[in-house]
A and B are shown apart, each in its own frame.
Chain A
Amino acid sequence: MSATGIGAAVRRKEDHRFITGKGHYTDDVNRPGQAAIYFIRSPHAHAKIKKIDTKAAAGMPGVPAVFTGAQFAEDKLGNLICGWAVFSKDGSPMKMAPHAAIAAGKANYVGDAVAVVIADTLAQAKDAAEKVVVDYEVLPAVVDPAKAAAPGAPLIHEAAPNNTIYNWHIGDADTTNAALKNAKHVTKLEFINNRLVPNAMEPRAAIAEYDAGSGNLTLWNASQNPHVARLVIAAFVGMAPENKLRVIAPDVGGGFGSKIFIYPEEVVCLWAARKIGRPVKWTAERSESFITDAHGRDHVTKAQMAFDGEGKITALKVHTTANIGAYMSTFSSAIPTFFYAPLLSGQYQIPHIYCEVDAVYTNTVPVDAYRGAGRPEATFVVERLIEVGARELGVEPPALRRRNFVKSFPYQTSVAFLYDTGDFDASLQKALELHDYKGFGKRKRESERLGKLRGIGFSTYIEACGAAPSAIAGQLGAGVGLWESAEVRVNPTGSVEILTGSHAHGQGHETTFAQLVADRLGISVDQVNIVHGDTDKVQFGMGTYGSRSGAVGMSAIVKALDKVEAKAKKIAAHLLEAAEADIVFKDGKFTVAGTDKSAAWGEVALGAYVAHKFPTSEIEPGLKEGAFYDPTNFTFPAGCHICEVEIDPDTGATTIVGWTAVDDFGTVINPMIVEGQVHGGIAQGVGQALLEHTVYDDKGQLVTGSYMDYAMPRADNLPSFKVDMTVTKCPSNPLGIKGCGEAGAIAAPAAVMNAITNALGTEVIDMPATPQAVWAVLQRSGKAARAA
């Protein structure tokens, strides 16, 4: 291993730029003559828009235009779409209702845009917005997914009777029911997987410019996948043909899924820029982010796990109602189905699984992928059930898991996935030792002596990354293929530009991708530049989400590097006057096997461009290759997280006192970055389990619409993590990478809740387990140390 190659903890090349304030984000883009746009949003969760009076606003200083949804509709552009078709049990297609970028007729959630004001400055736009009079007729709203399909619930979209988008299922109901009937023991749980607000540090932003001369539109957008944004805005919204639309996603400050989707704001900025002939700019304010960034999770679930006399799982049956919000966001249909239910086998051999998912509209912010996207929800179901099962059966939780682990690979689950490789026992074993599980009893007694309750919880998770083999994605309803592209451009001096369809918004691609290339070509990481996020530079790409950039994005780079090396060898053969078959490339040097003749990488690169020494009729000059890589399978990162908590029974406050994570991510390119991803993921999972509480009132107002009420995890909510790894290489991609970006967020919630319920001695508590919620449980169970 070289000091900067694969496996080296190279410091992030991009960090100097970021921590010295030199990053260049969408809001840093300013165009001559630009105007500010302000979105007037419905203050009601459900209301008829009877009339909008814009006259006074239009006459305010600095205001070139005020537009309503009715005006937007006049231009007959297409709707925003959900690009993943899901079918109900009865074969009927999902009921996708129209989603106009500016609502006309009816507003369906607090935050739904009903009009926009454009002005020279944002302050002027806000002043004018106060003069816009919207006459609403407030309608009853429904926010609770469990009530959305009930008779009498207010209907949100004509297209979706009973507010139901689909009733989907997977698995075999009959065999699962039979196994449940014959079971020796059945563990049953009901829970809510709480709705989360994504809270990327950089708020969403867009600036659109129209060049009347060329007819080209340019959009700078805080996006995780600029090419997909261009495709949707061109092909579905019909804003402009793809070749007339350029989308640039410059530095992006965090996404966690929320910046995958194509939102109304970028569409409206493009439309308005062309309409008024000036660049139009929007940056969300934090309170706007809370009510417009697609939220995550929001499931209501009932689940049962059946066991035989030996503690083997014989069946799993799950029913989930998934809240989709007021409109179907870009990938919303797939998250509670294909990214959820196929993970329900966990690390276990479960012969029969049946899962039903009902997706419903409610008068809330749309819900879509958020770090983990479906897999945290699935892991929560499986890992809570097996832990509770162990308690009920009187078996040690690790032992019950071990009894049920998948031990030989490949393993075909009963819910579609083919697990390629793994060693679940190895990560469990390592975690138990690292955590000093044996010492838990002693630590618990010590806590008890101090009047505290201590608990321990496990989460042996598996997830699926590297989405996805395109043909499979297509069979499952995806509107796109999920391959990735790369182009390797070698400069005459041997330095390299990598153009990738992946997009970095915190992951550190500028470093890890450079490590891969440096390792392969024997050059320094500083000689490698990563170019991404611009549809004019990178031909096409699917972007970054679902921990796919390593497994899919880097595989595409490897493929392109293979082609570069093959051509470079041909050129080296001519330079060294040897047969191509005798050329060996290693450590940045081409040598003729069995001789001391050699040419350095830089010499061959230069040779390719001066093109003096090879027949250009056979070999083209230059050194540049591209590749598209389509995965052959998903990848399956897995591991074991152990959480230990201490609860103060007087206040209900939970302190996480220990955390051990042993993950199997396959090949690790940069262990420091991977460890950082694990830390961040756990923090987000702990946020979900202990802190993040998205509360809507009955009228559909978001009660937790700011940091005064919505608790994000902070450093002092977290312990010092023990992070380690086991490695089984992924067999389906050239580097053996599985992916690490979401694992922490997937594993953590179940580990925390297993620990808390272990400490409390009751299973009835939902996330987030706030001090008040824990205290209430203790009051009910009479365990409060001292009734005050």
Chain B
Amino acid sequence: MYSFTFHRPETLRQAASLLSKNADAKILAGGHMLLPTMKLRLANPPQLIDLSRIEGLAGIQQSGRSLAIGAMTRHADVHASPVVQQAIPVLAKLAGMIGDPAVRHMGTIGGSIANNDPSADYPAACLGLGATIITNKRRIAADDFFTGMFSTALEPAEIITKVSFPVPKKAAYQKFRNQASRYALVGVFVAKRGSDIRVAVTGAGSNGVFRVKAFEEALKKRFAPKSLEGLTVPATGLNGDIHGSAEYRAHLIAVLARRAVAEAVGK
């Protein structure tokens, strides 16, 4: 690790001002992505701006048909929250599938989606549920937020404050883990909310999380595993590495999508 200046602002405004004054500064949330990269000397931010002392950035609130989760809410808290378990049980379950207990007690939802690792779980939930990412500046639809591998629509001095999830009627997430990292080799999130049907895939896309429109169209006719029978996604544009070729990942997307729909409809 290189040396750096550590800031611990107490308000969002202070954090934002520090960020805009220091172009290369980095926000520190759970640190579970940023700190290992710094320890390996692969990242060298001269300033770290720790969000952990800012009041109101962590917490879970339900209002009507939507659930708002503060950016600094830890995975373990989402997993254990009765509110989440009640409103969107699959989201609580997904948070419990991230990493190991140490990761879940430090890692945050804001950090996860800002990072937009192509194998991360939360981006699939955001895209699959049609969430809205709320920052200190604006509201961004998940469809516009994830712009590519490790890249998002966030502007330089923009801070995620919370994520708002509409409560779906039915939803499920199927994660097939990379045996080594236990990130998603492929993860498929399906959700149905009225006529809005979404199938979001993580782990497989060479541009990060994406939706499978063909599957969504098929499921619009009938939200049942049978509707996906025989449907495939092309391997082109998918990731291939030692853990899974693009063909294998394409195959898994179809398998997991069917399983997710089956789980969502309770079969």
Contacts and interface: CB of A to CB of B under 8 A. Distances in A.
Interface stretch (B103-111, B128-136, B244-252): B244-252
A210 B59 CA distance: 57
Given A650-B255, A770-B243, A709 B1 contact: no
A771 interface: yes
A710 B180 contact: yes
Given A693-B242, A703-B242, A788-B232, A709 B181 contact: yes
Contacts of B2: 127
A758 B248 CA distance: 23
Contacts of A650: 255
B255 A788 contact: yes
Nearest to A652: B248
Nearest to A693: B242
A690 B41 CA distance: 32
Interface string A115-146: 00000000100110000000000000000000
B1 A123 contact: yes
A499 interface: no
Contact of B243 (A653, A772, A788): A772
Contacts of B242: 693, 695, 703-704, 709
A651 B1 contact: no
B40 A287 contact: yes
B179 interface: yes
Given A126-B41, A287-B40, A693-B242, A771 B179 contact: yes
B179 A775 contact: no
Nearest to B183: A708
A194 to B, nearest CB: 13
Nearest to A773: B248
B167 to A, nearest CB: 30
Given A126-B41, A704-B242, A788-B232, A775 B180 contact: no
A239 interface: no
Nearest to B186: A651
A691 B180 CA distance: 8
A707 B3 CA distance: 26
Given A287-B40, A691-B179, A788-B232, A709 B243 contact: yes
B236 to A, nearest CB: 16
Interface string B176-208: 100111000000000000000000000000000
A560 B125 CA distance: 67
Contacts of A709: 180-181, 242-243
A209 B256 CA distance: 58
Given A651-B176, A695-B242, A772-B244, A708 B181 contact: yes
B12 interface: no
A711 to B, nearest CB: 4
Given A123-B1, A287-B40, A775 B243 contact: no
A707 B40 contact: no
A128 to B, nearest CB: 13
A775 B41 contact: no
B50 to A, nearest CB: 21
Nearest to A690: B179
Nearest to B40: A287
Interface residues of B, number: 21
Nearest to B245: A772
- B3, B242, B244, B254: residue with the most chain A Cβ atoms closer than 10 Å: B242
Q: Dominant SS at the B interface?
A: loop
Contacts of A775: 248, 251
Contacts of A693: 242
A650 B256 CA distance: 9
A651 B255 contact: yes
Interface string B231-264: 1100000000011110010111011000000000
A409 B252 CA distance: 54
Interface string A756-773: 000000000000001110
Interface string A649-688: 0111100000000000000000000000000000000000
A428 B145 CA distance: 60
A458 to B, nearest CB: 25
A770 B176 CA distance: 13
Given A123-B1, A126-B41, A772-B244, A708 B180 contact: yes
Contact of B251 (A127, A695, A712, A788): A788
A691 B243 CA distance: 11
A524 B187 CA distance: 57
Contacts of A704: 180, 242
Contacts of B180: 691, 704, 707-712
Contacts of A708: 180-181
A486 B195 CA distance: 79
A770 B179 contact: yes
Contacts of A690: 179
Contact of B179 (A287, A711, A776): A711
Contacts of B176: 651, 653, 771
Interface string A697-711: 000000110011111
B179 A788 contact: no
A651 B244 CA distance: 11
A315 B239 CA distance: 47
Nearest to A703: B242
Contacts of A695: 242
B214 to A, nearest CB: 13
A695 B179 CA distance: 15
Contacts of B255: 650-651, 788
- A287, A709, A772: residue with the most chain B Cβ atoms closer than 10 Å: A772
A744 B227 CA distance: 47
A519 to B, nearest CB: 41
Nearest to B1: A123
- A126, A652, A690, A788: residue with the most chain B Cβ atoms closer than 10 Å: A788
A788 B251 CA distance: 6
Nearest to A770: B179
A771 B248 CA distance: 10
- B2, B232, B244, B255: residue with the most chain A Cβ atoms closer than 10 Å: B255
Contacts of B3: 123
A708 B244 CA distance: 14
Nearest to B3: A123
A650 B242 CA distance: 19
A692 to B, nearest CB: 9
A702 to B, nearest CB: 12
A156 B244 CA distance: 33
- B1, B179, B242, B255: residue with the most chain A Cβ atoms closer than 10 Å: B179
Contacts of A711: 179-180
Interface string A158-195: 00000000000000000000000000000000000000
A776 B245 CA distance: 10
A772 B3 CA distance: 42
Interface string A623-656: 0000000000000000000000000001111000
A123 B1 CA distance: 7
19 contacts: A287-B40, A651-B176, A653-B176, A690-B179, A695-B242, A704-B242, A708-B180, A709-B243, A710-B180, A711-B179, A771-B176, A771-B179, A772-B245, A775-B248, A776-B248, A788-B232, A788-B250, A788-B251, A788-B254
Q: What 3 A-B pairs are tightest by C-beta distance, nearest first?
A: A788-B254, A711-B180, A711-B179
Given A770-B179, A775-B248, A788-B231, 20 more contacts: A652-B248, A691-B180, A693-B242, A695-B242, A704-B180, A704-B242, A707-B180, A708-B180, A709-B181, A709-B242, A709-B243, A711-B180, A712-B180, A770-B243, A771-B179, A772-B245, A775-B251, A788-B232, A788-B250, A788-B254
Interface of B: 1-3, 40-41, 176, 179-181, 231-232, 242-245, 248, 250-252, 254-255
